[in-house]
Structure 1
Amino acid sequence: MNIEIKQTNECKKAYEIAKSLPEYFHKDGLKSIERDTKNHMLFGAYLNNELIGFAVYKEINNEAIEMLWLGILRQYHRKGYGKILVERNLAEFSKKYKVCKVKTISDSDDYEPYKKTRAFYRNLGFIPIETISPYPGWDNDPCQIFVKFLHA
């Protein structure tokens, strides 16, 4: 698997990846992705120099970082590219931060794409710590907050 993970400024391409996944990203989410890719740390997964996935991170404070967005082109789902992207990012972030947080739709919602999302985060070692329902700004959707400790 010849994949390169690097910080990037390919905001438009990241947005297009998200737009190609309507079951994960609705209109308001896409607006936020468009803004967040420009204002926060954007990392890309490149296969043969083509952007196939992205992750956006925001520093919360000196000890914590939040993964705001993650998207991989559909044809590369379940092939390990998302895992590589996140694991390499977190390995680098562990030099500075103690914990990474991510929010997603809670398991009280059995929508299949988000079942897969939650399983993905759990497989990476994220643990659910809190559910907020409804989460402000999430169209009455319940939010599950996951964290992963990067180092002690």
Structure 2
Amino acid sequence: MNIKFSKQIVILIVLVLISCNGNKDKANVKSQKDSAEKDLVKTKIQSENFEDFNKKFHADSLFQVSRVDFPIEGKHISGFEQHEWTRKNWQFQVIPVAEGTEIGEYEHSVVKTDSLVTEKFWIPDSGFEVERQFKLINNKWFLIFYNDINL
């Protein structure tokens, strides 16, 4: 065999190996990207729907207590009475979060993101304010903050 011919074969084999390895790396990157996209879709699919949670939370007292992240932030203040929320003094909440609530003289706002819902009721310049926050934790909604202030 000729040395020139041998060099060409060696070069050809090296090029083939490099080419195959490059395609393998591209396939691995594509596979990792596909896997990450599937995980993201899976997470979104498995996340609890806020509207379904909202209905059940305000209809089922046992479910509600299981989804209040005690010790919860916020306070109950009524005149001179004040306490932080615990499992023992929790008051069942029956009014669901709603977008367009119009209750007499109360102002109302709801701010929603994919992982946090904040609702506020207040009467301007009155000392009355209710605020609650729900947060998506491990794909389940929890009440994490509740202020009930009536001075």
Common fold, TM-score beyond 0.5?
no
Answer with 1 or 2: which has the greater Rg: 2
Alignment TM-score, normalising by the size of structure 1: 0.28
